[in-house]
């Protein structure tokens, strides 16, 4: 893989810049946008980026920092799913706490924002408190964010509790957008200044990248990733007016900046040091780019990948037609076609050969993967296994130099597993999914040295690109994700069954 990003240079530059910002205050509330851990989008568009760079950055600052996690009560109530992990926001909060603790980072508390006694949220609060995790609840503020007089008063921020913190850097993060990170930071600023303490606010948002061109594929890839949020990259007019310098930001930050600045000035009784939304940010990721051509090509591929993801979400009813139309426009404006993803056509061409053939009432789907050397390996659905399961077996055979004719898993292992699913677990779909195939392979490896050799090559699948001619089951999708395979799908169900999951 060609490298376009230097992670060590980035972490050095970023940590230095954050510490410079902290020096202006006794305490800095740092709003962390994007993914704190497993930032797979950044890893894809910036080849060489460490997906856990942010958490490693905080690890370097752990003696000076603590973390507050925000989650919106409404997201818990409607079981909102974090798309990249396929888990609900409340479960992601628990996962995040575990991950932060593994890195030796201090989690101060969890803040439930816009809480009004919602039943499922109350259960979640109980669950956290009974595991000795501090929980604070913030009510919705009438007139937020425009009624500054009410917001900065005893009837606004004053009604919400003050979170006691002890470190000079307080990172405020969340499972996803709209969780109330900004409101929590400003709420803390209000209380800190009432207590006579010097506190400031900054924002750490990875994308868009402020110091590269507006229409750079890296910034366009961010728009593609947030079509459901209606994010649009724009020139920061405040920054241009103040400094005569072009900087890129996005519509929500630009729209909110005048209000945020007024709130901060009302809290501190001082003229804000920030003249633009870009001023508020501490992001230095643009300085880690070492090969712009590599980054541009990776970003174009990410836009195509997002096109497939958006198409599938639209088919499932998860997003509206406006989001789909925005995705079409992004593709058109960048001059991109779905077929420019190299694994798409090989999968479709093989599937075309089996068109009309039904396997357990499902169409014969195909999954293709591209190896490091450019070779395309495919797998098709059969009565024994899913197309993804077949693709994995064929891929590790190729990596191990094992002939196609040599079976890795004995029918003596596969048939009892299918019998179990059909006759005892009463599953409607009996073909083994990817996870079940890997379990069968591990059993086979106990007595079959060839299977063990193949298994030893599983780690080499990490970072490879794959495509399916149907929308994958949740299990197949999660298994490929755990293996580190970036997969896209055509927006088709394998059958008319409404229970396909």
Tokens for 299, please give them.
């970003």
User: Alpha-carbon distance 160 to 165, whole Å?
Assistant: 15
Q: What is the pLDDT of residue 364?
A: 92
User: Alpha-carbon distance 332 to 348, whole Å?
Assistant: 22
213 Cβ contact partners less than 8 Å away, ≥ 6 residues apart: 219, 248
> For position 118, which CATH number holds?
3.10.630.10
CA of 136: how far to CAs of 112, 121, 140, 180, in Å?
6, 12, 13, 13
Quick one: average pLDDT of 309-335? 96
Asked if 72 and 170 sit in the same domain, the reply is yes
Classify residue 341: in a domain, yes or no. no
Asked if 261 and 362 sit in the same domain, the reply is no
Classify residue 415: in a domain, yes or no. yes
Asked if 355 and 275 sit in the same domain, the reply is no
Classify residue 326: in a domain, yes or no. no
Asked if 141 and 259 sit in the same domain, the reply is yes
User: At CA 325, angle to CA 319 and CA 327, rounded to 5?
Assistant: 85
Asked if 81 and 191 sit in the same domain, the reply is yes
β-partners of residue 465 are 370, 486
What is the band of 456 on the pLDDT scale with cuts at 50, 70, 90? Answer: very high
Q: Do 273 and 190 contact (CB within 8 A), yes or no?
A: no
In the chain, the number of structural domains is 2
User: Alpha-carbon distance 443 to 497, whole Å?
Assistant: 32
Classify residue 82: in a domain, yes or no. yes
Structural domain span for residue 367: 351-489
Quick one: average pLDDT of 166-176? 94
User: Alpha-carbon distance 387 to 384, whole Å?
Assistant: 10
User: At CA 162, angle to CA 161 and CA 165, rounded to 5?
Assistant: 145
Tokens 């020139």 sit on residue: 235
Q: Report which DSSP code applies to 363.
A: E
Q: Note the pTM of the prediction, 2 decimals.
A: 0.92
Q: Do 5 and 47 contact (CB within 8 A), yes or no?
A: yes
Calculate helix-pair angle for 474-482, 434-444, nearest 10 degrees: 60
Tokens 């209380």 sit on residue: 191
- Residue 474, classed as helix, strand or coil, is helix
Quick one: average pLDDT of 127-131? 97
Give 203-215 pLDDT, tens digit per residue: 998 999 999 999 9
Q: Do 170 and 68 contact (CB within 8 A), yes or no?
A: yes
Give 138-164 pLDDT, tens digit per residue: 999 988 888 999 999 999 999 999 999
Classify residue 133: in a domain, yes or no. yes
Tokens for 427, please give them.
């599953």
CA of 482: how far to CAs of 342, 422, 426, 460, in Å?
22, 26, 27, 13
State yes or no: pLDDT of 497 exceeds 90. Answer: no
Distance of CA 26 to the CA centre of its chain: 32
Q: What is the pLDDT of residue 127?
A: 97
Asked if 268 and 368 sit in the same domain, the reply is no
Tokens for 304, please give them.
């195509």
User: Alpha-carbon distance 204 to 500, whole Å?
Assistant: 40
Classify residue 56: in a domain, yes or no. yes
Domain termination residue (choose one: 280, 311, 339): 280
Distance of CA 329 to the CA centre of its chain: 23
β-partners of residue 87 are 82
Give 43-101 pLDDT, tens digit per residue: 999 999 999 998 998 998 899 999 999 999 999 998 887 766 778 899 999 999 999 99
Classify residue 361: in a domain, yes or no. yes
- Residue 290, classed as helix, strand or coil, is coil
Mean pLDDT (the chain) is 93
Asked if 266 and 118 sit in the same domain, the reply is yes
Tokens for 437, please give them.
């195939």
Least confident piece of the model among 50-54, 350-354, 394-398, 494-498 = 494-498
User: Alpha-carbon distance 18 to 272, whole Å?
Assistant: 19
Handedness of CA 160, 166, 169, 174 (dihedral sign): negative
Quick one: average pLDDT of 323-349? 97
State yes or no: pLDDT of 501 exceeds 90. Answer: no
> For position 375, which CATH number holds?
3.40.140.40
What is the band of 216 on the pLDDT scale with cuts at 50, 70, 90? Answer: very high
Tokens 């856990």 sit on residue: 52
Classify residue 138: in a domain, yes or no. yes
CA of 239: how far to CAs of 216, 249, 256, 280, in Å?
19, 10, 14, 11
Q: Report which DSSP code applies to 432.
A: B
Least confident piece of the model among 77-81, 131-135, 224-228 = 77-81
User: Alpha-carbon distance 483 to 59, whole Å?
Assistant: 26
Asked if 122 and 258 sit in the same domain, the reply is yes
Q: What is the pLDDT of residue 424?
A: 93
Tokens for 112, please give them.
């439930």
Q: How far apart are the first and last CA of the chain?
A: 34
What is the band of 332 on the pLDDT scale with cuts at 50, 70, 90? Answer: very high
Instruction: Provide the H-helix boundaries in 316-433.
Output: 321-333, 344-353, 387-400, 411-419
Q: What is the pLDDT of residue 84?
A: 67
What is the band of 361 on the pLDDT scale with cuts at 50, 70, 90? Answer: confident
Give 390-434 pLDDT, tens digit per residue: 999 999 999 999 998 899 999 899 999 999 999 999 888 889 999
460 Cβ contact partners less than 8 Å away, ≥ 6 residues apart: 372, 396, 399
């Amino acid at each position: 893989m060609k490298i376009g990003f230097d992670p060590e240079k980035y972490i050095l530059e970023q940590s230095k810049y954050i510490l410079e910002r902290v020096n202006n205050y006794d305490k800095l509330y740092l709003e962390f946008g994007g993914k704190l851990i497993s930032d797979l989008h950044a890893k894809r568009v910036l080849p060489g980026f460490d997906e856990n760079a942010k958490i490693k950055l905080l690890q370097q600052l752990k003696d000076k920092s603590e973390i507050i996690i925000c989650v919106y009560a409404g997201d818990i109530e409607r079981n909102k799913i974090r798309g990249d992990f396929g888990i609900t926001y409340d479960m992601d909060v628990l996962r995040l706490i575990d991950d932060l603790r593994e890195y030796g980072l201090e989690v101060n508390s969890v803040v439930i924002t816009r809480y009004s006694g919602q039943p499922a949220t109350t259960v979640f609060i109980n669950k956290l408190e009974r595991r000795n995790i501090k929980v604070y609840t913030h009510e919705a503020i009438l007139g937020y964010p425009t009624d500054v007089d009410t917001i900065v008063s005893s009837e606004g921020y004053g009604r919400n509790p003050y979170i006691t913190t002890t470190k000079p850097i307080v990172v405020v993060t969340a499972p996803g957008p709209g969780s109330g990170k900004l409101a929590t930071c400003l709420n803390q600023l209000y209380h800190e200044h009432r207590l006579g303490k010097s506190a400031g606010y900054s924002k750490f948002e990875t994308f868009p990248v402020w110091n590269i061109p507006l229409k750079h594929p890296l910034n366009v890839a961010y728009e593609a990733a947030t079509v459901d949020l209606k994010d649009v990259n724009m020139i920061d007019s405040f920054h241009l007016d103040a400094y005569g310098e072009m900087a890129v930001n996005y519509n929500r930050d630009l729209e909110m900046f005048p209000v945020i600045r007024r709130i901060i000035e009302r809290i501190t009784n001082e003229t804000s040091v920030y003249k633009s939304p870009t001023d508020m940010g501490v992001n230095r990721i643009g300085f880690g780019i070492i090969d712009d051509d590599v980054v541009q090509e990776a970003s174009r591929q990410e836009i195509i990948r997002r096109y497939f993801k958006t198409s599938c979400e639209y088919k499932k009813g998860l997003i509206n037609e406006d989001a789909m139309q925005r995705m079409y426009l992004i593709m058109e404006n960048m001059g991109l076609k779905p077929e420019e993803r190299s694994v798409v056509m090989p999968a479709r061409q093989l599937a075309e050969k089996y068109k009309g053939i039904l396997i357990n009432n499902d169409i014969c789907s195909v999954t293709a993967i591209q190896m490091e050397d450019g070779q395309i390996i495919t797998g098709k659905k059969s009565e024994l296994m899913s197309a993804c399961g077949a693709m994995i077996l064929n891929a590790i055979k190729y990596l191990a130099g094992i002939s196609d004719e040599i079976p890795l898993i004995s029918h003596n292992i596969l048939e009892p597993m299918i019998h179990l699913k059909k006759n005892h677990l009463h599953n409607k779909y009996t073909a083994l999914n990817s996870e079940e195939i890997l379990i069968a392979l591990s059993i086979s490896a106990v007595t079959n040295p060839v299977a063990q050799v193949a298994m030893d090559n599983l780690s080499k699948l990490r970072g490879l690109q794959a495509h399916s001619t149907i929308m994958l089951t949740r299990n197949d999708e999660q298994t490929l994700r755990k293996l580190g395979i970036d997969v896209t799908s055509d927006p088709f169900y394998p059958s008319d069954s409404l229970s396909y999951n």
